[in-house]
Amino acid sequence: MPGQKVDKNTRVAIRDARAMIAEVAKADGNEAETRRRVERIFESVMGYDVFKHISREHAVRGAGETEHCDFAIQIDDDESAKPVIMVELKRVGVDLAPKHLRQVSSYAINAGCEWIILTNGREWRLYHVAFGQPPETKLLQTWNLLQDETSVLAQRFEVLSYRNVKKGLLDRLWAKTNVLTPKNVLGAILSEESIKLLRRTLKKTTGVLVSPEDVVGGIRRVLNEVGGAEMDSMKISLPERTRRRRRRSVEAVEEKGKEERGEEEGKEGKTPEVGTQTAGDEVG
């Protein structure tokens, strides 16, 4: 998180990495110059051994000719081991574009690799490849080495560190990302338990008791268009207690209506009092 404390060694490593990329950007360095500095970042900031863990010009065999990804991250020493991360690198002065993602995505899919890093040294993007039909590539994180705070950079690079990748923490990141989808988060917020809690909290802080429908309407007002559209597609269950109360209210209204109709009917069929003239009296 921004502002979190960063240890001295990490701070120094990020400062040096930023200076390296700023220097090559100022000189408008070529791809080879950018690559050398990016490899240095993998080593100094993320803890990889560039000779053991980085496979340069990694061969990828697809349906056509063999292609080469800029480099692949491999944790296991076995040469036949599948890469953990495919890295596509562009010259520092080139902005990352969709065509670059399509290129590295095809490498990753052909290699059976779930993780992609696309970078020009300045901007870094982390993607996950889900091997469905068809495969889907999703952006998980993005950061800028020259612009973001040191604490943000430390957190982003730590996710990709040799230590964490070896422990399999990237899989946990993907699992967490899947849990925190807009649909799942909205589902939790709009659950019966959450609505009850919000009503109690609002009553405690404002002294005003609002209905479940009011809570749902309030949530809708604070959402953006995307969240509102997602909410429209969901089935929202209001707390059971409220439904019972509503049924009791409806039943009470219906009962009252029956009583009123009974009174009216009683009035219409009531026997006249003695001395009261009726139509029959007139005929007689």
Write the pLDDT tens digit of every residue in 82-119: 789 999 999 999 999 999 998 888 888 888 889 999 99
Same domain membership, residue 224 and residue 85: no
pLDDT: is 83 or 144 the higher one?
A: 144
**Which of the listed residues 179, 197, 214 is the one where a domain comes to its end?**
179
Q: pLDDT over 70 for what percent of the chain?
A: 72
Q: What torsion, rounded to 10 degrees, do the Cα atoms 261, 264, 266, 270 define?
A: -170
Same domain membership, residue 147 and residue 55: yes
Q: How far apart are CA 261 and CA 276, in angstroms?
A: 25
Same domain membership, residue 211 and residue 115: no
Q: In terms of residue numbers, what domain contains 59? A: 8-179
Same domain membership, residue 85 and residue 189: no
CA 270 to chain centre: 71
Same domain membership, residue 65 and residue 147: yes
- Side-chain half-sphere of 282: how many Cα atoms within 13 Å? 3
CATH number for 133 = 3.90.1570.30
Same domain membership, residue 235 and residue 117: no
Between the alpha carbon of residue 173 and those of residues 41, 146, 177, the distances in Å are 22, 24, 6
Within-domain flag for 1: no
Within-domain flag for 281: no
Residue where the block lists tokens 């953990």: 84
Same domain membership, residue 103 and residue 17: yes
Which residues are 116's β-sheet partners? 86, 127
**Which of the listed residues 163, 179, 195 is the one where a domain comes to its end?**
179
Same domain membership, residue 194 and residue 85: no
Same domain membership, residue 36 and residue 169: yes
**In 144-180, which positions are buried (b, 16+ CB within 10 angstroms) versus exposed (e)?**
ebeebebbbbbbbbbbbbbebbeeeebeebbeeeeee
Write the pLDDT tens digit of every residue in 152-193: 999 999 999 999 999 988 888 888 887 877 788 888 888 889
- At residue 153, the pLDDT reads 95
pLDDT at 227 exceeding the cut of 90: no
Residue 185, SS3 per DSSP: helix
Q: How far apart are CA 109 and CA 181, in angstroms?
A: 24
Same domain membership, residue 217 and residue 135: no
**Which of the listed residues 179, 196, 229 is the one where a domain comes to its end?**
179
Same domain membership, residue 223 and residue 127: no
pLDDT: is 261 or 161 the higher one?
A: 161
Residues 6+ apart with CB under 8 A from 266: none
Mean pLDDT score across all residues of the chain = 80
Domain count, the chain: 2
Within-domain flag for 257: no
Mean pLDDT, range 137-150, rounded to an integer: 94
Same domain membership, residue 199 and residue 172: no
Q: Are 101 and 87 in contact (CB under 8 A)?
A: no
pLDDT: is 126 or 229 the higher one?
A: 126
Strand ranges of the sheet holding 67-73, from the earlier edge strand across to the other edge: 54-60, 67-73, 85-89, 115-119, 123-130, 136-144
pLDDT: is 51 or 21 the higher one?
A: 21
Write the pLDDT tens digit of every residue in 29-65: 898 899 999 999 999 999 998 888 888 767 666 556 6
Write the pLDDT tens digit of every residue in 271-283: 444 333 333 333 3
pTM of the predicted model, to two decimals?
A: 0.66
Residues 6+ apart with CB under 8 A from 216: 190, 195, 236, 238
